[in-house]
Structure 1
Amino acid sequence: MDATLSDPLVGRRIDSRYQVLSRIGRGGMGVVYRAEDDRLEREVALKVLRSDLAHDAEARQRFVREAKAAARLAHPNVVSVLDQGTDGEIAYLVMELVPGRTLRDAVAEKGSLTPGEALTVLEAVLDALAEAHAKGIVHRDVKPANVLVGEHGRIKVADFGLARSAAAATTAMTGATELIGTAEYLAPERVARGIADARSDVYAVGVLLFEMLTGRPPFTGDVPVNLAYRHVYDDVPAPSSLVPGLPVELDGLVARATAKDPDDRPADAGRFLEEVRAVHHRMDPSGLSQRSEPLTEAIPVVAGSTMRIPLVPDDGTGAAPVAPAPVRPADPTEIGYGPGGRTRRGGMIAMVALVLTLALAGSVVWFFGAGPGAYTDTPTGLVGRTEPEARQILTAAGLQAEVEQEFHDTAAPDTVISTDPGEGRRVRKEGTVTLVLSKGPELFAVPAVVEETQEDADRMLQEADLAVGEVRREFSEDVEEGRVISSSLEPGTQHRRGTPVDLVVSDGPRPIEVPALVGTPYEEAAATLEEAGLTPERAGEEHSETVPKGAVLGQEPNGGTLFRGDPVRLTVSLGPPLVKVPEVQGMQLREAEALLKGLGFQVKVERAYGGIFGTVRQATPSAGTSIPKGSVVNLLVV
């Protein structure tokens, strides 16, 4: 059945944010999935600690250590870790998704790489490790499966799950009888003494170069412990011994990087990178592109996963691992067969006795040099102590102390928060215990979020390890709708992880109701608009028989809402239109009244001498005068 279809995590949402889409691969410690980050709407790689290791405190610590180690590295050839957390019993890391394949898959497909291809990959890997070594980080699990080849050829180093500080790595062991790593790439000092530094990574890079050039690791086998001890007892062969025609300079690089004594190797990845670049520059272009065939048909070899490798087999005998004895052609005279064979049986008995004696001596040496007799327990009661107190306890136990510091939200500064090896765990006698001291709570600077969109402000606060607090919305005449007006904490101030930052977000300008102003004197209407924050504009003047002169005859808009500063256009009344008084003198009253009223005038009659003739003697205002329509015309009638 397809692993994706049967995997219970596929289709699940982790931590209410990461939607698991499909399974990418499985390693010794974790499973990697393709997932969708719902918050930022992007695809990521989600690495989940294997379920059988969910309650393994050391494995969970490695997960956290991987996130912290990668977070300290900002390099184009290092896979970025974006997030880390837990969801119930699930411990996870979120990493950038690198479309492509692993170097292991690329080598398996091609059989081997050309010298030019191998050196290009090697330089990118060393460039990434040089950044780590410069910051005191040792990877401890360099192998083709942890080198990613992107779609456009970008090389990235992944999986810092075994990474440690250089000081801690020189003494760190997972126990008295095991170490964690991939047997094909373990440096001799890791197997023999359980220590690692930058030169151990250089050794693994040398094995990596050998595999790229030949298509297989230098040592292979089914039993990890036997394979690991091959690095202690056997020299890595020259690549050209398997692939004739390879430039001798490449044999030299492999020999330099895989020297048994760490002192004979380059001091770190940066130094080795300088040597590799110099060789690459000197090589003939034709030699760089040459793809040579191995002496024998290549047999695909898949290197093992990262695992706990027992250094002492648990067979109940307590016997130490023994390197395979050299094999040479049998001589019949030495084993009592053929002519004269019987006369040599006494010598054979003596030889067996000598071998048993040497084996017993070797077991004693092993017991006190690398076996249980070489170890003691890390004292308890160190956590919570000050550095001087902890050092005193270790000194009394015959142990040395190294110091690292980490931020801690609750532990007092300069007190021990953890040890490596942990309290009660095995440590070599007269060895070193790493004391991890609290630096107090880590403080994070508040980013400047004013005038950022609310979405960007949320992201900036989360990236700064702060929390989004209460979000209020207010009208603003100056800040665009949806952008932050203010935050409760000043930008640049330092606060603890997760401190909430309240935001005030703009709802844009406040809407203003447009008042009804028709019939209001213009000056009063203009003042009303200005007081509301709007701008009065005089649009023109018109006559009106209903609106008094100087009052607002019309407005645009006539109601609704506007925003501060928006204009309101006002039309002002000129009063009624002007009409000329007609000539009515000499007309009969009835005729004159009809004419004037027809023109919109009102008529007032005054009679002289009783007005017995009914004739208009005089009109006031006089004929030809223009007066407002509706005005009164006085008629004198005789």
Structure 2
Amino acid sequence: MSQQRIINGRYEVGELIGRGGMADVYLGRDERLGRTVAIKMMRADLARDPQFQTRFRREAHASAALNHPNIVAVFDTGEEELPGTNGQPGVACPYMVMEYVDGDTLRALLRKDEVTIDLAVEWTEGVLAAVAYSHENDIVHRDIKPGNVMVDKSGAIKVMDFGIARALSDSSATMTQTQAVVGTAQYLSPEQARGESVDFRSDLYSVGCVLFELLTGRPPFVGDSPVAVAYQHVREEPPAATTLIPEISPALESVLTKSLAKDREDRFQTGKDFLTALRAAHYDGMAVSEDESTSVIPPAVIPADTEPTQAMGAISASDDSIFEPREELPEHYEMTGEMDAVNDPERTGKKKRRRGWLIALLLILLLGGGAFAGWWFWNEAEQQRIEENQVQVPDVSGMPETDAQNALTTAGLRPILEYEHNDDVDRDRAIGTDPASETTMQRYDEVTLNISLGPDQVDIPDSLQGASEATVRDTLEELGLTVSDVSYVNSPTIPRDRLVDTNPALGSTVAYGSTVALKMSSGEVEVPNVVGMTQQEAENTLTADALGLSVDINLVTNDGNMTAGQVVDQDVEPGETASQGQLISLDVAREEEEPSDDPSESESPSESESGSPSESESSSDEESSDDPSEDESNDEPSEDES
């Protein structure tokens, strides 16, 4: 377990809770104010890159300038000095202390399939409020996407990661850096995809893409590669949202259409305009007004020159014919009983009643027949419509997640994603569908798309030993594992900043979703105490594989208190660290010199100064014998003797 870090004397760094493209986010605590914070620190492997340093500082500056309830607040910024090793200078690692948001990103919520139309509109309102505020402060976000928007436990929206935001005065620069488009392909505006300058309306296009995905469950454009998606943003029109989700109102469809216009002049010009139109469409059913006037069909009217209905012949007050007396009957016409019967009121009433029943019966027959004919024609049309809208579920087993979604959408179905572990299907590939493939369904019906999370148990690869931290993180994340902690350990062979081991260990099997701690090489080894060992023992200890050091031997004079061949000193103190392969100098006692047993080989000080008596005598004899004059004088008697 690594040692707890305190930075700037007040921020306690806790567990890793997130990871971005250039920084790690840790749960932290502000000891001075006693509150939980999030600490965003640049990754150690990127801290030496000036470009990443500049980008990180720009994010901190842009975020700190914004104070809005829908934007993650930045409380403090600073730099932590990382010590240098192996002769390399130290480096300043920048960090940001931010508001801690306890919740999920929109990306995570979309994966859970818990987004209704009402929630989609509500969350988009929060995003638009944040974007409108940043635009008022001349800051363009440039990377609005579901992964950069969080929803806290209370339901509030928090927009984060202004990592590629720039002030409006700098937005004339294109969005390409080393030929790579900055941003996320599925939410890029057409001008960003073309590498042109961006402005506030580019953010609003990205918000439109997010709204489309929240409403339909998929982005407006999907493809096999980021380049293919970017091309669609520039050249193709998105599918109508109502064809994917029929419950979406035409008013909301009109808002989506305007927000995703290719030409920025045809989009909403401000975040407030977008927000106002979205609320009016969802709550009041008011569609976005078009430039062209909407044609309205007037109610039907009766033309002035139409003749009155003939059954109700018009009566004119000037028509006096109705008041003229009837023509007299001929005299020979006799009023018979039959005539009386015709004029009988009772009989006339019966005829009228019988005629009414006949008319009613006729009407019933006509209506019944018409209803039957209508039902028959309607049923035939409905059957034909059902048959025309029938589609078969395609076989997507084994396809990558995006390809499987595209195949189902192209077939006219609405894929609903579900994730589960599977030992036989690789992670992020389709297991199958429910209903199964070849099943006949109606167009726009929902079909469950099962995506594999990979095996429930995964192996930590041995091959990661010696890899960089970035490579290890990416590999473990692909396996569904999370890096929880990074510490440094000594290693005699693995270069600095390369993986030595993990906890759980390399090669071990762990549950999917487990956390793994990394042990990175410090590039150093701890020097042991070899004083008192024999020279050979010390050399074996220091040069062994466990240490990998080099040894230099210095022989020192033995004062009689040392054991010959024993190490009496070392230039690196025990317990201190040395670089891999460093030369360690050892002092080793010489063999002690003993006195000789031959007397001729030793002489006393007096003898060395005056010589031995025998030598003096022999030399004097030689001198006397060598001088003849002296011999002769000695042989002659002296004058006194004579």
TM-score by length of 1: 0.42
TM-score by length of 2: 0.42
Q: Work out which of the two has the higher radius of gyration on C-alpha atoms and give 1 or 2.
A: 2
